[in-house]
Amino acid sequence: MNKPMLPTLTADPPEGKEWLYEIKYDGFRAFLIWRENKVQLISRNGKNLTAQFPELTKRFTGFTSDELIMDGEIVILNTPYQADFEQLQTRGRLKNKDKISRHSSRRPAAFMAFDLIKYNKDLTSTSYTTRKNELKKLVNSLNLSTIHYVNEYADWQTACHIVFEHLGEGVVAKRKNSTYAYNKRSSDWLKVKVWRTVSGFLTEYNRNNDYFKTEIYDEEQRAGLGQLKHGFTDEQFQTLIQFFKEKGQNGRIHPGVCVDINCLNAQDRELREPVFHDFRFDLTPKECTKKKLHWDLALFPEEVDYTHIDKPLWPGGLTKEDYLLYLRHAAPYMLPFFTNKKVTVIRYPDGIHKQSFFQKHLPDYAPSFARGWAEEEGEISLRADTLSSLLWLGNQGALEFHLPFQRALSTYPDEIIFDLDPPSREHFQIAVTAARLLKHLLDQLKVYSFVKTSGNKGLQIHIPIEEGKMSYEETRKFTEKLAHLLVNDKPELFTIERLKKKRDDRLYIDFVQHAEGKTIIAPYSARATEEASVAAPLYWNELNSSLTPLSFTIESILERVRTMGCPFQSYDEVRALQPIKTIKKL
């Protein structure tokens, strides 16, 4: 069995017109092979992975081809550009068919196809660009949600920016005219890792395998960071050996030498692909902390000035540092909703119990990377559609991000939203009831819809649409019609009465809020609540009697998305699928 062509690791990306660049996904390298009316997934080492990932092969029935071989990565995607290797490893170990079926339904894997080796004929002698063109046409014709085409980019900076923003693994540069060579590590494909540089101190040397043990401080306790062997020059290695001989006992020493280590991740006292970077004689072991580790792994943009990060923002000890870490990891999920939109923020510079204020215009002191939208009256509206601008606003104490329903230069909405506002948190289950009834109506109309918590006491239903397909007047008729249907069905639970004193204990269906100039809390935005809650996207099947909006906080939401995926992942994909004519006729 042939093995795939492999890239050569390099520290410096090649640049020039003869190169194209692809995102390197963190997954299992594999061939997807169709032969004799059967499809298989074969790993780079020849292992058959077909049974482990049935969702990737079950829809290939009826495919017509003599032989097909695609090269790619099996991944579990968090975002279109970020894969979760730990989740994939869990899937790869499963043997029980029922468990595999449950996992494949809950977090389906994807095959990221980046090369086409055979398609009725052998393509290995054709150029990379020819194979990519054929692959793109093939993937588009398959129209399978689990088979994705890996895009190529003309310049290194674009690909690197995407990987950095999404905390990805790296970039592969490929020579345009290169052919495909089985069983070879080629200099026509060059991979560049996006390293995280973390700090720890050396505490032990194992002379049997030449590994050094590294540690950090977790509060006052020492904790393992991982083992380190590669990246030293001969001189550095011999110096360390001599140091351990002179200062240590039985290969152990404390306090040890502080070092910076390049890696892809650090988790459960293990470093992923660790490589020595440099000595840190300016650090003491006490400064190599778990907090510093988390910050270093997050790849913060250097152009942002992060100030007073130990300042408390929420009760219970949550600081600006905690919030910035949340924003950095949530950014890949948040930023797509900020694209080409103005933003209004609520700032709490000294925490949620101190003075707060709205801000929707770019201040004079904003850094050059914080862009805005010019308005006729000379003001510049805020925008937060880049990682640096989002983090800069977060550093300014912007805890809440509110978005309009249309893009900055448009008067047409690109989404329809129902705001379900119960009288209090204690009445949250009324919002659940309203949302489920609305979902039933929307399903009958074949409308694609999404639901999220408001981050406080209610729920919000989002319906993405293509810009220009409906006016605000048309969306208002639609939301008003459905609101009346709910109120007529259950007048004891729901109301469209705007005056709070007349609502009693009924839930207010706010269809008036969906209008030009109005805003709604952004998905994954934090809220200024005691619990540091988040406007959390949900799966529809989560709307049950045990659901509470306070379960979703800046401390819990990231692990939830990592294990369950983002419920809004297909938000943009369904815009073109909405039954606009049906919606307008209602």
Does 310 reside within a domain? no
Stated as kind and residue range, the H or E segment containing 162 is: helix 156-165
Q: Which two tokens stand for residue 312?
A: 């408390």
Is residue 73 within 8 Å of residue 27, measured between CB atoms? yes
**Pair 125, 14 in one domain:** yes
Per the structure, the count of domains in the chain is 4
Neighbours of 402 (CB within 10 A): 18
Return d(Cα 463, Cα 416) in angstroms, integer: 5
59: Cβ–Cβ under 8 A, 6 or more apart, which residues? Answer: 144, 146
From the list 320, 300, 302, 301, the residue with the least C-alpha distance to 312 is 320
Is residue 505 within 8 Å of residue 511, measured between CB atoms? no
Edge-to-edge, what's the strand order for the sheet holding 185-193?
Answer: 6-9, 185-193, 170-175, 19-24, 152-153
Return d(Cα 258, Cα 280) in angstroms, integer: 5
**Pair 101, 46 in one domain:** yes
DSSP 226-262: EEE-SS--HHHHHHHHHHHHHH-BTTB-SS--EEEEE
Q: Collapsing DSSP states into helix, strand and coil, what is residue 438?
A: helix
Is residue 538 within 8 Å of residue 451, measured between CB atoms? yes
Please give the residue range of the domain that contains residue 258.
Answer: 196-297
Choose one of 184, 219, 244: the last residue of a domain.
184
Does 497 reside within a domain? yes
248, with CB counted inside 10 A (0-12, 13-18, 19+), is middle
CATH at residue 201: 2.40.50.140
From the list 207, 172, 210, the residue with the least C-alpha distance to 73 is 172
Neighbours of 559 (CB within 10 A): 9
**Beta 185-193 vs 6-9: how paired, if at all?**
parallel
pLDDT digits (tens, 9 = 90+) for 435-484: 999 999 999 999 999 999 999 999 999 999 999 999 999 999 999 999 99
CATH at residue 569: 3.90.920.10
479: Cβ–Cβ under 8 A, 6 or more apart, which residues? Answer: 416, 418, 511, 514
Confidence at residue 468, expressed as pLDDT on a 0 to 100 scale: 96
Does 399 reside within a domain? yes
**Pair 104, 242 in one domain:** no
CA 83 centroid distance within chain: 9
Query: Dihedral, CA atoms, 366, 368, 370, 372, nearest 10 degrees?
Result: 90
Choose one of 404, 438, 467: the last residue of a domain.
404
Q: What are phi and psi of 289, to 5 degrees?
A: -115, 165
Q: Collapsing DSSP states into helix, strand and coil, what is residue 104?
A: helix
Query: Dihedral, CA atoms, 246, 248, 252, 257, nearest 10 degrees?
Result: -80
**Pair 202, 265 in one domain:** yes
**Pair 79, 163 in one domain:** yes
Return d(Cα 235, Cα 238) in angstroms, integer: 5
**Sites in the chain below the pLDDT cut of 70:** 61-62, 251, 255
Return d(Cα 324, Cα 342) in angstroms, integer: 21
Does 543 reside within a domain? yes
Does 57 reside within a domain? yes
**Pair 80, 180 in one domain:** yes
Confidence at residue 251, expressed as pLDDT on a 0 to 100 scale: 67
**Pair 488, 446 in one domain:** yes
Confidence at residue 6, expressed as pLDDT on a 0 to 100 scale: 97
**Pair 475, 563 in one domain:** yes
Does 158 reside within a domain? yes
Neighbours of 181 (CB within 10 A): 14
**Pair 219, 91 in one domain:** no
Is residue 405 within 8 Å of residue 429, measured between CB atoms? no
DSSP E strands in 448-531: the ranges are: 450-453, 459-464, 494-495, 507-510, 519-521
Q: How far is CA 476 from CA 269, 479, 482, 513, 586, in A?
A: 54, 5, 10, 9, 11
Does 162 reside within a domain? yes
DSSP E strands in 302-414: the ranges are: 344-347, 357-359, 372-374, 380-382, 398-404
Confidence at residue 255, expressed as pLDDT on a 0 to 100 scale: 66
Q: What are phi and psi of 180, to 5 degrees?
A: -95, 125
Return d(Cα 214, Cα 257) in angstroms, integer: 9
Residues belonging to the active site: 24
DSSP E strands in 466-583: the ranges are: 494-495, 507-510, 519-521, 537-538
pLDDT digits (tens, 9 = 90+) for 384-440: 999 999 999 999 999 999 999 999 989 999 999 999 999 999 999 999 999 999 999
Is residue 12 within 8 Å of residue 171, measured between CB atoms? no
Does 410 reside within a domain? no
Instruction: Please tell me the number of Cα atoms within 13 Å of 255 on its side-chain side.
Output: 14
**Pair 516, 492 in one domain:** yes
**Pair 542, 438 in one domain:** yes
DSSP 53-97: -GGGTGGGTT---SEEEEEEEEE-EEETTEE-HHHHHHHHH---H
To 5 degrees, how large is the angle CA 410–CA 412–CA 418? 130
Choose one of 149, 184, 219: the last residue of a domain.
184
Stated as kind and residue range, the H or E segment containing 360 is: none
**Pair 330, 424 in one domain:** no
What residue type is assigned to position 415 of the chain? E
CATH at residue 42: 3.30.470.30
Q: Which residue has 């077909």 as its token pair?
A: 50
